[in-house]
Amino acid sequence: MEIKKTPRADLEKDKSLNLLLGLVIALAILFVGFEWGEKEIEVATDSGIAAIIDEEEIEATIQNEPPPPPPEPEVVKAPEIITIVEDNVEVEETNLLTSEDDATHAQTETYVASVEEEEEVVDDNFVFITVEKMPEFPGGETALLKWISDHVIYPTIAAENGIQGRVSCTFVVNADGSVTDVQVVRPIDPNLDKEAIRVLKQLPKFKPGEQRGKPVRVKFSVPVRFRLQQ
């Protein structure tokens, strides 16, 4: 005959439920223990800090000033000894200037160096642009322009074509006043330029320019005007 167990006598039926319930209770106890421990630690820490702050004392520091230096001893000068000399005793005259005084006096003497003016050497072929005294045409600038106007021959080709204007020229006035090296700086027409050069080469002698009282070569500029009569 087979033996059968009743359902109430089966111990394995509630085993899993009891295990789960025990695990929940254990976790709750552990959590409560952790919480209680943290509170105790915080309280203990706070009380310790408060006690340290209350008991701390700050001592004031006092700076001791250094003692004043001792006074310097007074220097007592020895009394000057005055020697009384009788009237009938001859006293030798001593030179009051020592060797050091002589040296100082020699150093203070003003040394005047001789200044020799070097004479300026001017090359005879050098052409100046500006000098102390510029070349001068006999009668002045007005006479120069009039002389050029009187001696200019208007080129026929330029007159027929109605070409007119001003030719700017330069030349060199030599040390003897003669005119050389005539050049056209601003040309207008080849025929007018050629005529301007021809006229300027025939200029009479100038009064030469001077530099430091010596006649020198100087570059001179002058315009040659060509104007048709209406």
Average pLDDT of the chain?
Answer: 75
3 state SS of 175: coil
pLDDT tens by residue, 181-215:
999 999 999 999 999 999 999 999 999 999 999 99
Q: Which residue has the tokens 């005294």?
A: 133
pLDDT tens by residue, 127-184:
999 999 999 999 999 999 999 999 999 999 999 999 999 999 999 999 999 999 999 9
Contact 181, 91 (CB under 8 A): no
161-193 core/surface letters (b: 16 or more CB in 10 A; e: else): eebebebbbebbbbeebebeebebeeebbebbb
pLDDT tens by residue, 74-105:
665 655 566 555 555 555 554 544 555 555 55
pTM for this prediction: 0.47
